[in-house]
Chain A
Amino acid sequence: MKKLIALFLCLILALPAFALADDQVEITLWTYPIGSWGNAETVDGIIKDFNAVHPEIKVTVQYLDYQSGDDQVTTAIEAKTTPDIIMEGPERLVANWGAAGKMLDISDLWADTKDDIIAASAAVEAACKNAEGVYYEYPLCMTTHCMVINYNDFEKAGALQYIDEEKHTWTTEGFLNALDALNAAGFAPTAVVYCGGQGGDQGTRALVTNLYSGQFTAPDHSAYTMDSEANIKALQLLQQLVNDGKLDADAGIVAGDEIALFCNSTISIGFCWNASAAVSNKASLAEDVKVFPMAFPSDDGVPELQGGIWGFGLFDNGNEAKVAAAKTFVKWVCDDPAQAAKSVYASGFFPTRASLGDIYAGTDKAENGEYAIFMPYLGDYYQVTPNWAAQRTEWWNLLQRIFAGGDVAAEVAVYCQNANK
C-alpha cells in the first residue's frame, strides 16, 4: 500500500514536467531597463501577444538594472545558468560576452532584414557583429544620446542667440558664450561635469570629444585615443572653465544625480539626456524648467553623437529546441508586421528598420519623434573597442584627477596606458 502511495505521489510531482515537455518550450529573457522594456506590465503585454501566436513557447522574464545587472550576468555565465535571450547593446553582447565566446552566432536572423537595417543606419549593422563578421546582436531600436538645456533659463539670460533653435546645435564658441551669459544672469551652477562613477558616461565622453572634434577611439576600434591634440585641448578647456567657476565638476555624483539637478532647476544644462529620459523625467520637472534637447557643442557646429543600439542576443546554452524558440521570439518581437513598431515604441527610441518609418506620429509619445532630428549626427559606435569595461572606470577616474588639478596631458597618458592594456 505504501509503495503504491509513494508511486502515486511521484507521478503527481512529475506531471507538470511531462505536461511542459509535451506542449511547451520554456525560455528565459533577461532585459535591462531599456525604456518600458524594464516595465513588467509592458513586457507581459508583449509576451501575451506573442503567446497568442506561439502558445508552444513559454517566456519567463527577469528584469536587470544597470547597477547590478552585469554582475548577475557574470555570475550566471560562471554558474552556467545564463538566460536564453538577453536584451542590451553591442558593448555587452558583441564586445564583452560575444568576444568571450558565450553568445550564439545569430547571422541567420539577419538574412531577410539586413538591407532594411542598413537603410536605417549602416552603423547599426556594423556594431552588431564582430571583426570576423559574426552577428551577436539582432537590433530592435536605436537613439542618439544628446544633452539638454532649460530653455527658460537661456531665454532669461539672453543666451538663446548662441544656439541654433531649428537644428538644436551650437558651436563650442556659442557654448562658452552661453556659459558666460548664464553666469552673468545668476544661473550658477550652470552645469555639472559629473564623474562619480560610470553611470551616464556617454554624456561626458561626447562633451569632450565634440568640443574640438576629437575621436574617442581609433577608426578601427583598436585603441583609445584620448591623447590626441583635440581631446587634450578639450579637457584643458573644461578644466579651465571649472577653475574659473563657469562650470562645476563633481566627483560625488553620476548622471542620474545630474539629471535630478536639471529637473529640479538647480542647473541649466544637462549632459546626459535622450528621448527616453525626456519621457521618464517628465513628471519630475520643476515648474520653471522647459526641456530643450541639444546636440553637443562642437568647433565646426557639426556634432558627432554617441549612439545607443539595443537588441537581442542569445546565450549558447546547448539546447537546440530552446535556441529555436528563442529565435522565434526575437524574430517576432523585431520583425512581425503587427508587433515590430509596438516593440520599438515600448523602448521610447527609434526603429532600426527603415521600413517602419516614424512610429511616434499621432501617438502619446509624439514628442519622442522630435528627437529624430539628432539621428543624422549619429557618430561612430566605438563602444565595441576591446577593454571597454576597464576603460569606463579609467574614464571617470581621469576626469576626477583632472578636476582635482592634475596635469591634463600627464593624466591622459595614464588613462591611455591603462585603457589600452
Chain B
Amino acid sequence: MTTRAFPARRVVSPAMRAARRRENIAAYLFMAPSLVFFLGFVIFPMGMCLVTSFFNYTMTDFSWIGLANYVEMFQDAIFGKALVNTIVIVLVSVPVTCMFSLWVASLIYKMRDRHTSFFRCVFYLPVVTGSVAVTVVWKWIFNNYYGVLNYVFKNLGLITRNINWLGNPDYALACIITILLTTSVGQPIVLYVSALSNVDHSLIEAASVDGATNMQVFWKIKWPQVMPTTLYILVITTINSFQCFALIQLLTSGGPNNSTQTIMYYIYYNAFKLSRYGYGSAMGIILAIIIAVFSAIQFRLAKTDNG
C-alpha cells in the first residue's frame, strides 16, 4: 500500500484571513464604480440588444418574432450593400492607416523633440477637432460648384470639368475613406513614435556594427518590438472603421444610391428614423460578431512571443 504525499497546507491565522478579507473588500470597492459603469452601460445594453433582436420592437409593438429580424436582414439588399461598403472601408483604411502612421512615425521620431512634437500636433489635430467641423471643411473641399479640389485639379489639368465628388457613386465612398484616414492617423502616429523611441538602441547599434542594412534593422529589430503596438492599432482602427457613422450622416446620408451606406448608419436609420429597434438591434449583434471575428483574426496573425 502506498500513500500519496499531499503538500502541507499552509496554516493561515484568523488575523491574516481577516486582513486578506479586508484587502479583498477594499479592492472590490475600488473596482465598484468602474464595474457598475461597465455593467450598466456596456454589458446590460449588449444583453438588451441581444434580447430585443428577437422581438418586433417598434414604437407601438413589442412582440416575440424569433429569428425573423435576422432572416429579413439577410434578404435585405440595402443591408448587403452596407455590409460590402463597410468591409471595403475596413480593408482599405486599416492597412493604409497602419502603414502611413508607421512611415510618418519612422520619419519624425528621430527628429529633435521640438520638431517631433510639432508633427505629432499636426497629425493629431483632426482627431481632437470635432467631427462636425472636420466634415464642414471637407464638404467645402469636395463641393461640386466651388470646391477647392475641383479648382486645384482643373488648374493642374487633371480634369476638364467639375467632378461631383460626394454626389457620384463612383467617388463618394473613396471620399469618405479619405476623410476617415485623416481623422484616423493621429493616434497611431503618436503611439508609433512612442513605441519606436522605446526600441532597444543597443540592439540597433549591434546589428549595424554587424553590417545590417536599414531595412534589415527595421524588419528584424524594430518591427518585432513595435508589434504589440501594431496589434493595438490594428484592432482599434478596425473597430473605428466598422463603426464609421458621423461622416456618413453629415456628408452623404448613405447615398448616392446607397454607395456610402454602412452597417452603422443603416442601424441608426432603422432604429431612429423608422423606429424599428428590434431590427436595428439584430444588425448590431451581427456587426458585433463581425468585429469580434476580425479582431480575433488580427490577434492570431499578429501574435508574437512577447506580444
Contact = CB atoms under 8 A, between A and B. Distances in A.
Interface of A: 70-71, 74-75, 77-78, 97, 100-102, 189, 195-198, 250-253, 261, 264, 266, 389-390, 393, 396-397, 400-401, 404
Nearest to B145: A266
Contacts of B257: 251, 397, 400-401, 404
A196 B255 CA distance: 7
Contact of B273 (A189, A252, A389): A389
Given A77-B59, A251-B164, A252-B167, 10 more contacts: A71-B272, A74-B272, A78-B277, A189-B145, A196-B252, A250-B144, A251-B167, A251-B168, A251-B257, A252-B164
A70 B271 CA distance: 11
A193 to B, nearest CB: 11
B115 to A, nearest CB: 39
Interface of B: 59-60, 142, 144-146, 164-169, 172, 252-253, 255-258, 269, 272-275, 277
25 contacts: A70-B273, A71-B272, A74-B59, A74-B275, A100-B59, A195-B255, A196-B256, A198-B253, A250-B167, A251-B166, A252-B142, A252-B164, A252-B172, A252-B256, A264-B146, A266-B146, A389-B273, A390-B274, A396-B255, A400-B255, A400-B256, A400-B257, A401-B257, A404-B256, A404-B257
Contact of A101 (B60, B142, B168): B60
Interface of B is mostly: loop
A204 to B, nearest CB: 14
A389 B274 CA distance: 7
Interface-centre pick from B146, B172, B257 (highest chain A CB count, 10 A): B257
A196 to B, nearest CB: 6
B59, B258, B269 interface centre (most CB from chain A within 10 Å): B59
Nearest to B256: A251
A196 B253 contact: yes
Nearest to B277: A78
B272 A70 contact: yes
A100 B60 contact: yes
A340 B277 CA distance: 40
Contacts of A390: 273-274
A250 B144 CA distance: 9
Given A70-B273, A71-B272, A396-B255, A252 B59 contact: no
A274 B105 CA distance: 53
A78 B269 CA distance: 16
A340 to B, nearest CB: 33
A214 B267 CA distance: 34
Nearest to A75: B272
